[in-house]
Amino acid sequence: MIKEFLQQHGEYHDDKKFSDLTTLKMGGKIAHFVLPESIDGLKSIIAFLRGNRIPYKMIGNGSNLVCGSGSYDGVVICLKKLNSYEIRNDEVYAEAGVMAPTLAMALAKQGLSCLEFASGIPGCIGGLVYMNAGAYKGSMSDIVKEVQILKDDEIIWLNNEDMQFSYRHSILHDHPHWIVVGAKLRLTNKPSEEIEDLMADRLRRRKETQPLEYPSAGSCFRNPEDNFAWKLIDGVGYRGFCKNDVCVSDKHSNFIINTGNGNAEDYLDIVYKIQDKVKEKYNIKLLMEVEKFNC
């Protein structure tokens, strides 16, 4: 019954693993996987799953997830086919599945400034809004005008203030069943060359300072107020620490990388060790930026 319904509303697979769908390349089997092809299709899928009390998990590009090795018996809904965008005067409307680097480059070519800070973040607009993602002193809260949300069975719009943005947080954390389906972002005009040069410089800096050659979920921990997670990790001697194929990067110690066939259990064991040591030495509680699921 589940398979037949999902096939009517999107691209369906029953042979996916979280390791196929996350940038960390970890995670076990998934019973049902679907990519809705429209917002209406997503609404139908969600209504069906809730009506039948079937568990589900929303993902975008899977760039901020560490998923356990066990099987997941529910439905994973991926929004990457909701990937259209439209430039409207001083704003761009982007569906949740639009990749941030793709949109940043497209805007840059038209002399439109907006997403330069996110041009190296391998995530979708929906996920970036959810997390209030940021880099280089910029964040989504700086550019979001309105967010389009599927709440229960209706589409609503929340403005920037309604979103209650703070550091790596939005109102969506308090309402896990609300789903970002799109967002309007502010645009400003700048010379294309200036935007593209800035993006190229930031990509160069990322390559120099981050272990992009290995699977990871990006920064593992949030930066505590007036401090940096990597400094605290270095301070407790965990730069380069490994457990099997999971390692704290020598290049950037706030990145925990998969050097081969790593699993979430080893990843989280390292996380908990670091948290304990940092708490013991500095009396600071390091909070994860990466989301745990099915662990």
Active site residues: 168, 219, 289
Separation of alpha carbons 99 and 112, rounded Å:
17
CA distance 78 to 12: 10
- The single residue listed with the structure tokens 């997830």 is 65
Closest CA relative to residue 39, chosen from 82, 88, 76, 86: 82
> In sequence order, which residues have a C-beta less than 8 Å from that of residue 106 and are 6 or more positions away?
85
Structure tokens at 45: 């899928």
Give alpha helix (H) positions in 10-164: 18-21, 39-51, 100-109, 125-131
d(CA 141, CA 186): 10
- In sequence order, the β-bridge partners of residue 94 are 85, 183
Residue 258 dihedral angles phi and psi, to the nearest 5°? -105, 110
| Strand bridging mode 56-59 / 72-78 | parallel
Distance CA 107, CA 28 (A): 37
Tokens of 180: 């970002």
